[in-house]
Amino acid sequence: MLVCYKCRTPWLEAGKPGFGDVCPNCGSYLHCCFNCRFYDEYTRPHCSEPNADGSFDPNGMNHCEYFSPRQARGAPLVDMDDPEQNRTRRRPDWRNLNKDGAQRPARNGAAGGGFTSPDTDERARKAREQLDKLFGKK
């Protein structure tokens, strides 16, 4: 069963949606790349169908003859304004997660009060003096 990519409202009519069909709930186009099973966000031009013409707007209406509705996954959202449903729908930021949930420090150690050399502090002070001198402060 096809569901709207934006609000996850099910498409209840028989067959695949036409070129101009829109979601009855949010008004998004249903015949678009985001609702197609060939859409792949990790490839260029985002379509795994080799014969399809590239669409420049993946969430806008397209006239692709190779459109095939993707299968629905997960439960449909009941209320798009509910922050709890939006939170569970988001993907976590895998770059900053540790097992305990704390953010990892930056690579140079500066973010967590880590290593700073006296040489770095001196260079920063000199750079600040030059900027102040250039722009007339002091």
Return the residue matching tokens 């509910």. 82
Q: Tens digit of pLDDT for each residue in 34-90?
A: 888 888 777 777 777 777 776 666 667 777 877 788 776 655 555 555 555 555 555
Q: Tens digit of pLDDT for each residue in 7-25?
A: 878 878 877 788 888 888 8
Q: Which residues of 62-100 are buried (b: 16+ CB within 10 A; e: fewer)?
A: bebeebebeeeeeeebeeeeeeeeeeeeeeeeeeeeeee
Rounded mean pLDDT of the chain?
71
Contact 52, 38 (CB under 8 A): yes
Neighbours of 118 (CB within 10 A): 7
Would you kindly state where each structural domain of the chain is located, as residue ranges?
Answer: 1-79
What's the pTM value of the predicted model, to 2 decimals?
Answer: 0.47
